[in-house]
Amino acid sequence: MPLREDAVLSTMQDVPLTVTRLLVHGVQVHGRSQIITWTGEDEPQRRSFAEAGTRAVQLAGALRDKLGVRGDDRVATLMWNNAEHVEAYFAIPAMGAVLHTLNLRLPADQLAWIVNHAADKVIIVNGSLIPLLAPLLSKLPTVEHIVVSGPGDRTPLAGGTARVHEYEDLIAGRPTTYDWPEIDELRAAAMCYTSGTTGDPKGVVYSHRSIYLHSMQLNMTESMGLTDQDVSLVVVPQFHVNAWGLPHAAFMTGINMLMPDRFLQPAPLAEMIERVRPTHAAAVPTIWQGLLAELTARPREVSSLAQVTIGGAACPPSLMEAFDALGMRVCHAWGMTETSPLGTVARPPAHAVGTDEEFAYRLTQGRFPAGVEARLTGPGGERLPWDGESAGELEVRGPWIAGAYYNGPDAEPLRPADKFSEDGWLKTGDVGIISPEGFLTLTDRAKDVIKSGGEWISSVELENALMAHPDVAEAAVVAVPDEKWGERPLATVVLREGANSDFQALRAFLTEEGHIARWQLPERWTVIESVPKTSVGKFDKKVLRRRYAEGTLDVTQL
């Protein structure tokens, strides 16, 4: 609406919200905070924000002057979580280019598809990941330069058309100032592709503004609320939704970061917690299940870790209880690549703290912050109330929520109807309920819900109930076709060492301890070695559905 001529004008300055600002601030005000990278050797590498900031300046200069990066050129990273990756996080957007984080766990053909779709010009790669990149190079025509950082044999990169550079040589001796350009806050800063569980991966492009606002939200006490007195163990990969925004938030408030690099197995994680004593950590449930088993087998002094953020998949109650017992308080959060990712955080409301209700609140996906508007939509498109009972698809909108997908430099962004409503809200594909106080409880992903005879069975609820059994290490439940009911649940369980499979006993446990209604109990059961995982460590249920369809699972029918 155009302003009336006599309208009162704001007297505030119009200053863009940019990643550049985060970089400059982090260096100036929090220069002594550290990025501590695990090296697998006696001492981790320690680099202050001031040093990393200077190196980011040098990197930006080298990318511009030596590699010819201009405008919105895409500079990709194929890297673990480490100090150099943080330098790239700031150098690339601050110079006006677009940081493209590549998921190193994707199958090779998908990785190539994504690089080509984004038309990446440069790839910064960790030496240890060269075996992954080298075989793809001939299929990546847009890539002109490869910059290698850290240990690893370089020879497989020789002979290609892309020029190969050493990260350290590239930045050595370069000027330590850069005349950062003025950047429109709505310009692209970084991009990340969804893992493509359905169809081709989709590119989400974050703006400077969305990253800045998301960082502020992450730093609020009701979200992670960390300060420069904290050390955050950033297990969630920097290629998985910008490590949930932690590096950006860190430069805003000086949070020290402990970066595991390639040492993501439970034993080194336990060791780095014991030695560096982080106060906070963030990762998907799978990582925590592994760490828990390790700590149970080989107890360690991990009492520094007061707060653990779990998200990316539902946190089983048994996991939360086990961590609580170890003195690590779990905080559950929900989000997606499309939501930057912070959507909800489960901090119990004041009236529940210290009461019997508190645990139940902590198990929900959490409460929406002011920056995330939410609504539930029923199967017929009707709006459902926040009554804690009506289940529908969650739709969200806000300044750090995607409104479209990237579709190449000259093409209009994509707004597929199954992902965006006509009025521009993001359809999350998650099904759940919202309480009158704004707490979200997800019952399933729309594609994982089991549709049995016109009723819905939550696979997540069955999994959580199963994982509470002492013999069960992990459990995944998927829908399989059933002549009578349309679909029925198939329970696939991973047993703990030394446990035997007694499906009747597990079934009884589900009703007695799990309070699962009889009609929801699985009649098909199987033991598997491990639950297949996606590239970001979540249960890959489509693999289980396929194995069932192919008849390669040894299923017992009760």
Which of 193, 525 has the CB closer to ligand ADP?
193
Nearer to ligand ADP among residue 490 and residue 536 (C-beta): 536
Tell me: does residue 442 bind ligand ADP (CB under 6 A).
yes
The amino acid sitting at 385 is P
Question: Does 26 help bind ligand ADP (rule: CB under 6 A)?
Answer: no
Q: How far is the CB of 96 from ligand ADP (least distance, A)?
A: 27
Work out how close the CB of 446 gets to ligand ADP at its nearest, in angstroms, rounded to a whole number. 9
Closest CB to ligand ADP among residues 152, 196: 196
294-300-304-310 Cα dihedral, nearest 10 degrees: 10
- Chosen residue from 103, 126, 428, 443 binding ligand ADP by CB under 6 A: 428
Query: Which of 456, 487, 533, 542 does the annotation list as catalytic?
Result: 456
Q: Which of residues 29-48 bind ligand ADP (CB under 6 A)?
A: none
How many CA atoms does the CB half-sphere of 57 hold within 13 Å?
A: 16
Q: Is the peptide bond before 341 cis (omega within 30 degrees of 0)?
A: yes
Helices 246-253, 83-94: axis angle to 10 degrees equals 80
Cα-based angle 206, 446, 385 (whole degrees, multiple of 5): 85
Q: Binding of ligand ADP at residue 459 (CB under 6 A)?
A: no
Residues numbered 519 to 538 that lie near ligand ADP (CB under 6 A) are 536, 538
Toward ligand ADP, which CB reaches closer, 49 or 244? 244
The pair phi, psi for residue 145, each rounded to 5°, is -140, 140
Q: Is 194 a catalytic residue?
A: yes
Beta carbon of residue 312, minimum distance to ligand ADP (angstroms, whole number): 5
DSSP 74-99: EEEEE--BSHHHHHHHHHHHHTT-EE
Does 336 bind ligand ADP (CB under 6 A)? Our answer is yes
**Structural contact between residues 448 and 442, judged by C-beta atoms closer than 8 angstroms:** no
451 is known as an active-site residue = yes
Binding of ligand ADP at residue 110 (CB under 6 A)? no
SS3 state at 421: coil
* Residue 359: its H or E element: helix 358-363
Binding status of residue 337 toward ligand ADP by CB under 6 A: yes
Residue 456 annotated as catalytic: yes
- 238 near 247, Cβ under 8 Å? yes
Residue 338 catalytic?
Answer: yes
**171 vs 468, beta carbon nearer ligand ADP:** 468
Cα angle 533, 535, 540 (rounded to 5 degrees) comes to 30
Binding status of residue 185 toward ligand ADP by CB under 6 A: no
DSSP per-residue string spanning 436-456? TTSEEEEEEETTT-EEETTEE
Ranges of beta strands (E only) in 496-542 are 524-527
Task: Check if the beta carbon of residue 443 is closer than 8 Å to that of residue 459.
Answer: no
Instruction: In angstroms, give the least distance from the CB of 344 to ligand ADP.
Output: 8
| Residue 347 interacting with ligand ADP (CB under 6 A) | no
**DSSP tag of 550:** H
Alpha-carbon distance 244 to 241, whole Å?
5
Q: Residue 94 or 283: which CB sits closer to ligand ADP?
A: 283
440 contributes a contact to ligand ADP by CB under 6 A: no
Binding to ligand ADP by CB under 6 A, coded x per residue (else -) over 353-372, reads: ------------x-------
Quote the least distance from Cβ 542 to ligand ADP, whole Å.
11
Q: Could you tell me the smallest distance in angstroms from the CB atom of residue 259 to ligand ADP?
A: 20
Nearer to ligand ADP, 117 or 332 (CB): 332
Q: Which of 362, 445, 469, 507 binds ligand ADP (CB under 6 A)?
A: 445
Nearest Cα to Cα of residue 21 among 82, 114, 121, 93: 93
Q: Does 313 bind ligand ADP (CB under 6 A)?
A: yes
Distance CA 533, CA 544 (A): 10
> CB 311 → ligand ADP: shortest distance, Å?
5
d(CA 169, CA 149): 10
Q: Which stretch binds ligand ADP (CB under 6 A): 48-56, 69-77, 146-154, 309-317?
A: 309-317
Q: Which of 45, 197, 501, 511 binds ligand ADP (CB under 6 A)?
A: 197
Helix (H) or strand (E) holding 47: strand 45-48
Q: Which of 55, 121, 332, 541 binds ligand ADP (CB under 6 A)?
A: 332
Q: Of 312, 316, 348, 522, which lies in the binding site for ligand ADP, with binding defined by CB under 6 A? A: 312
CB burial of 272-294 (b: ≥16 within 10 Å; e: otherwise) equals: bbeebebbbbbbbbbbbbbbbeb
Residue 311 within binding range of ligand ADP, rule CB under 6 A: yes
Nearer to ligand ADP, 108 or 297 (CB): 108
Smallest distance, ligand ADP to C-beta of residue 241, A = 6
Catalytic residue among 77, 194, 253, 309: 194
Q: How far is the CB of 114 from ligand ADP (least distance, A)?
A: 13
CA dihedral angle for residue 138, residue 139, residue 141, residue 146, rounded to 10 degrees: -60
Q: Which residues contact 14 (CB under 8 A, 6 or more apart)?
A: none
Counting residues that bind ligand ADP (by CB under 6 A) gives 21
User: Measured from the CB atom, is 533 or 547 closer to ligand ADP?
Assistant: 533
Is 297 in a helix, a strand, or coil? helix
At 346, the amino acid letter reads A
Which one of the spans 61-69, 157-165, 219-227, 326-334 is the region binding ligand ADP (CB under 6 A)?
Answer: 326-334
Which residue in the list 355, 451, 455, 513 is annotated as catalytic? 451
| H runs (alpha helix) in 105-144 | 108-118, 130-133
Asked if 195 is part of the footprint of ligand ADP (rule: CB under 6 A), the reply reads yes
Chain residues in the site for ligand ADP (CB under 6 A): 194-195, 197, 311-314, 332-337, 365, 428-430, 442, 445, 536, 538
Catalytic residues: 194, 338, 451, 456
